[in-house]
Structure 1
Amino acid sequence: MTRGFAPSLPVELHKMGSFRRPRPRFMSSPVLSDLPRFQAARQALQLSSNSAWNSVQTAVINVFKGGGLQSNELYVLNESIRRLLKSELGSFITDYFQNQLLAKGLLFVEEKIKLCEGENRIEVLAEVWDHFFTETLPTLQAIFYPVQGQELTIRQISLLGFRDLVLLKVRLGDLLLLAQSQLPSSIVQMLLILQRGATPGSGPKSLF
């Protein structure tokens, strides 16, 4: 009886399918005949994304150099960013802005301050901050308006960048010691804003 029962056990298990794993199905993979069309569509998407991103880069650097946006340019830039957000580059926009565009743009700001010496640097820093806070920052926020829901906003990232890539490099502490007269109101405003790091609709967040 035992010998007759033993061979039938694997057969029964095989029929029941207890230990058989279903074969994976890759329904999303294109068939071989679709590969050329799939690759062409992918390349077209990348080309479109790069073209859109190039227009954004050019506009941002121009803003840091003191330029403004042309008529209807803001709408075009917003649409470009919306297309980018839907592409494979969408998840990298904020990081690229912070690590590439912002760093490059603030380099122009830093160099402008470093051209001056002594107490004159305080005056130049005050002028640079005024322009950054009233012109550059609002324009950057407008350009990247479609980018929302991030951990850090474009405003916060830009303020952090100004602190780390401008103030810390021009040695603000040394400049304050050199200042013989009362600090310009713009410098006081700058220190308060960067200390709070506040954005509209949010509580204070220290940037130091």
Structure 2
Amino acid sequence: MTRGFAPSLPVEFPKMGSFRRPRPRFMSSPALSDLPRFQAARQALQLSSNSAWNSVQTAVINVFKGGGLQSNELYALNENIRRLLKSELGSFITDYFQNQLLAKGLLFVEEKIKLCEGANRIELLAEVWDHFFTETLPTLQAIFYPVQGQELTIRQISLLGFRDLVLLKVKLDDLLLLAQPQPPSSIIQMLLILQPGATPGSDPRS
């Protein structure tokens, strides 16, 4: 009797590794939906490190602190802005002015008003408005004169900024009660200019 052989079981051998070289992994690029935000952040970084823009930024903050422009400084600032407008940063200047420079400058104004208490605050607000409207605003318009053709002008952006970042934060209703029977004429002028639709042409957007 011949002895039978046990059926052979399949034997699995470990597979040899692939000789292909691993594909290099690169840093992922921003998704298409994030590109506008990515580009805006990159432009903001480039703008903040640009020497021409730094001179403009320094001048604007100095104006908000009550300083003026030096002799021939306005010409140099205009030339710097013209140079920036011709670069890839040109379309970003207005946004940066509104969201960074103007906001920072008006913060100084708001803090100055809040340091004053009681009935004296509305007198200080009138004084601050007079200076802003007759000194700061024309200087800002002069500095950014080369910026043309935007949806809102530098004047309109600045007036809207004063309304939103200063006037709406100082509890004007309470101040007007303290100013009875008649608020200062500068306050009346301010309300006519900053309150949309109050009088023809009073809307800062017009």
**TM range, normalised to the smaller chain?**
0.7 to 0.9
State the superposition RMSD in angstroms: 10.3
CA apart distance, 1:166: 0.2
Higher helix share: 1
Q: Is the 8 A contact 1:198 1:204 kept in 2?
A: no
Identity %: 93
| Distance in 1 between residues matched to 2:198 and 2:14, nearest whole Å | 66
Mapped contact 1:82–1:146 kept (Cα < 8 A): yes
Deviation digits for residues 39-60 of structure 1 (CA, Å, limit 9, x no counterpart): 9999999699700000000000
State the shift of 1:181 in Å: 3.8
* Cα distance in 1, alignment partners of residues 76 and 2 from structure 2: 81
Higher Cα Rg, which structure: 2
Q: In the aligned structure 2, how far is the partner of 1:20 from the partner of 1:113?
A: 71
List runs of 5+ in structure 2 lacking aligned partners: none
1:56–1:77 CA contact under 8 A, matched in 2: yes
Per the alignment, do residues 91 and 183 of structure 1 end up closer, same or farther by CA in structure 2, a change over 3 Å counting?
same
Contact 2:47 2:53 in 1 (8 A): no
Q: 1:150 to 1:200 in 2, by over 3 A?
A: farther
Name the residue aligned to 1:167.
167
Q: TM-score, length-normalised on structure 2?
A: 0.73
SS at match of 2:109: helix
Q: Deviations over 1:66-108 (max 9, x none)?
A: 0000000000000000000011111100000000000000011
* Contact 1:77/1:143 (<8 A) preserved: yes
Between the aligned partners of 1:86 and 1:7, the Cα distance in structure 2 is 84
2:67 maps to what in 1? Answer: 67
Q: For 2:200 and 2:43, how far apart are their aligned partners in 1?
A: 40
User: For 1:4 and 1:199, how far apart are their aligned partners in 2?
Assistant: 112
Are residues 120 and 33 of structure 1, via their aligned partners in 2, closer, same or farther at CA, if it must alter by over 3 Å? closer
Looking at structure 2, the residues matched to 88 and 6 of structure 1 have their Cα atoms a distance apart, in angstroms, of 80
C-alpha contact (below 8 Å) 1:49/1:87 kept by paired residues: no
